[in-house]
Structure formats: C-alpha cells, structure tokens
Amino acid sequence: MRKPVIPTPMRIGFLGLGIMGQGMVMNLLRSGHEVTVWNRTALKCKDFVKAGAFKGNNPAEVVQSCDITFSCVADSTAVKDLVFGNSGVLQGITRGKCYVEMSTIDEETMQDVGEAISARGGVFLEAPVVGSRVPALEGQLIILAAGDRKLYDDCFSCFEAMGKKALFLGSDVGAATRMKLIINMFMGTVVASLAEAMAMAEKVGLDQEDVAEVFSLGALSCPTVIHKSQAILNQKYDPHFPLQHQQKDIRLSLLLGDKVEQPLYVAAAANELYKKARRLGYGDSDIAAVYRAASA
C-alpha cells in the first residue's frame, strides 16, 4: 500500500490526457490535489471533471489560473504547438508561474521551451517519466527532473502522487531528457531482440510458450521481458506504450548519438525493425507488436 500523500495547497494544472496523462491526473485527484485539466480533444476531460477536476478552455487559461502547470503530450511537435501556439502556455506565463514539461522530446525543444518560459519570468522544470500506462495508473512512475531546484521541491507532493521515485539531475535543462532517451533506447532494443528471439523460436520448431517460460525463470527475467513475451504469445497489442512513440524515442536517441559521435549499432538496427512495424500498420499498437515485423 502506498503511503498517504499530503497535497500541496498550490493550484495544479495538467495539459494532456493521453495514455500517460490520464493515470497521472487521476492520481493527483485521488491524493487530494486541486487540478485543472485541458486536452486537445475536450471530451476526454469529462471523466476527470466528474472525479473533481476543473476544466480549462485552453493552455493559456490553465497556466493563468494555476500555480504549477504540468504537461505530458506525444512529441516535440505537440509540445511546440502547446507552448508557442495560439492561446498556448507562453501566453499564460507571467512572473512566478511554474511550468513542468513531462513529455519525451528532443533536448533542443526542451531547452527552447525552458528559455521561453524563463524569458517571460516563469519558472521551468523538465520532468520526463520512466514507465508506461500501468505504472501511470498505479502511481509507480520514475520521474527524472532537471531545471529549477525550488520548483522541483514544490512539486514534491505531485511527484509523490504520480511516481514511486523522483530524481533531481541538476539545473542543466536537457539532462533529464538525455537520461530518458537512453533508458527508452535500451528498452526498445530489448523488446526488438525479444521479438526476434520469439520469431526465431517459431521458425526452428520450438514452442514459444516454453521459450517465454525459460525467459521468466532465468537471468533474463524482468517485467518487460515477461509482459511483452506474453503479449506476443497472446497476440494482444493493446497500447501500454505505443510503438510509434518507441520508434520516435529511438530516433531521438540516434540523433543524440550523432551529436556526441557515439556509435549506436544495436539501436540503429532496432530502429529499422520498428520502422518496418510502423509501415505494417502497428504504430498505434503496443511496442510488443514489433514482433509482427520480426516474424514477417
């Protein structure tokens, strides 16, 4: 059982009610936080308003009415539109307003957002999360943060509600994004390798259930291998972590590798497998659907 959270008296905003945001917001509400939500598709706000949230009409309005506003959306394009677009975050930022970007995006966009918020007198923190749909629902995310230390401290009760651990990685905006991309790159290569192993097992006449059982009993046993091997066995690819987002994260990792001249041979190969899976129509499916590309 999770320890009870003492909610901050600050007014909290949350932008984005996708696969991750839904669980994060619900945990903020359950722990007693006052939350104002906004989502591009307004209908998604309905259940959260029923659960006690307020509804904002646009990102600027949410930022204006709240002390700390969190955002978690799909990619860099969505973040730029949210922050710099019409009635966007930047239009609501005034001196002292706090903004926490939890999306997984490229380092340059994260830094651009941070600089723009600071230029308006706002306070910025990047805080991408490690975890997928179920950890988000269960409040078991790992939160990686960098930027303003006081804002990180002010987010304590929110991070406690959303995650099992929060780490402050320093004042250098971009550090948390780099950490997140490396973690997701590693996870993506692991799942791609698992998919190839399961496909190979079938081709050589082995029972895939036996292979999955051995994985679960040996040194390779971990939640990712266990859950994704079961998804492959059952051919159930409902999205816990959409495949297109995993491919996006590996692509961003490869760009980061280019920037620092670090060869990423395994990640580059895995990226091609995920690209093939997207071409086959599995972009919206769970990352385990990369098996479809490996076995095609």
Catalytic residues: 180
Token pair of 238 as six digits: 């409902």
10 Å Cβ neighbour count for 167? 16
Angstrom distance (rounded) from CA 275 to CA 289: 12
Token pair of 27 as six digits: 């945990």
Token pair of 97 as six digits: 């307003």
Token pair of 87 as six digits: 């009635």
Q: Which residues contact 183 (CB under 8 A, 6 or more apart)?
A: 130
Give percent helix, percent strand, percent coil of the chain, each to the nearest 5: 55, 15, 30
Sign of CA dihedral 20, 124, 251, 39: positive
Is 173:126 a contact under the CB 8 Å cutoff?
yes
